[in-house]
Amino acid sequence: MADERRAHWPKDLQDEIEARAWNGCVGTKLLSDTARVRVWHLHIPPGVRFPFHRHVLNYFWTALADGRARNFFEDGRLADSEIQRGLTRHFEFGPGEYLLHSVQSIGTTTLDYTTVEFLDSPNAPLPLLPDHSN
């Protein structure tokens, strides 16, 4: 069932967010998975959008390159931002809190990030797709 907050989105985006609402793969490649952390690489070439995924664990990401990003949020908002190499953002979630979104590279350069998720967060980790990819 389509969410009215996203009625302005194309149908394929509306269908994707519904289908991937519990997708726990937050990067294009899982680099390390230990008892304490998951370390991901996220690689998004120009014009490409990384599919919807849900963050439930406390985490941070660091940009490995300059670029321009567009985030698609569950509430229907779009947010564009300039990304500078080395930019780091930290996120924390209480019990039951999450972030469901998709990221697109809207500039002329590839977006590259390292994301580190902390498994000792208030929420249990989501299951990963069998191939650890989107």
pLDDT tens digits along 40-94: 999 999 999 999 999 999 999 999 999 999 999 999 999 999 999 999 999 999 9
The pLDDT value recorded for residue 34 is 97
Q: For residue 119, give both structure tokens.
A: 């498994």
What confidence tier does 130 reach under pLDDT thresholds 50, 70, 90? low
Q: Which CATH class is domain 4-118?
A: mainly beta
Q: For residue 107, give both structure tokens.
A: 């500039």
The torsion of the CA quartet 14, 16, 22, 24, rounded to 10 degrees, works out to -130
The closest alpha carbon to 68, from 112, 113, 107, belongs to 107
Look-up of token digits 């779009």:
78
Q: Which amino acid is at 84?
A: Q
pTM of the model as a whole: 0.92
